[in-house]
Amino acid sequence: MYERTAPAIAAMNRANHEVRLDGPAEVSEAAEHVRQLSRRLQPLLKALIGDDSPERRHAYDAAFVELRDAHLAFIGLARHTLEVEDDGRQR
């Protein structure tokens, strides 16, 4: 799992980089928050290898839930930002 998530996180970070540079401030901030949380997740997952202590598992689970929630919030914010008004103007 650790080996499979690294490329996915790298791809997400590349996509978020474009949003951070080109997106509206609120969306850029949300993308950066997701990037920071994803960077924190990998070491926590690696720490689980060979260590099944409840403390390490709880730390990983909590970080994963925080990342998932931030990612969902970012997606919702980005979609809302891209919505177009009836007159063809972007919100």
* Residue environment code for 20-36, b if the CB has 16+ CB neighbours within 10 A, otherwise e: beebeeebeebbebbbe
Q: Which residues contact 27 (CB under 8 A, 6 or more apart)?
A: 19, 74, 77, 78, 81
Residue 88 has pLDDT above 90, yes or no: no
In a domain? residue 55: yes
In a domain, 27, yes or no: yes
Note the pLDDT of residue 20. Answer: 75
Kindly state whether residue 26 falls inside one of the protein's structural domains.
Answer: yes
What is the number of structural domains in the chain? 1
Q: Residue 37 is part of which domain span? A: 2-82
Assess if residue 87 is contained within a domain: no
- 54 domain-assigned: yes
State the pLDDT at residue 12. 76
Q: Is residue 29 part of a domain?
A: yes
Q: Is residue 90 part of a domain?
A: no
- For 14-44, how does the pLDDT look when each residue is reduced to its tens digit (9 = 90+)? 777 777 777 788 988 999 999 899 889 889 9
pTM across the whole model: 0.75
Share of the chain above pLDDT 90, in %: 32
Residue 31 lies in a domain: yes
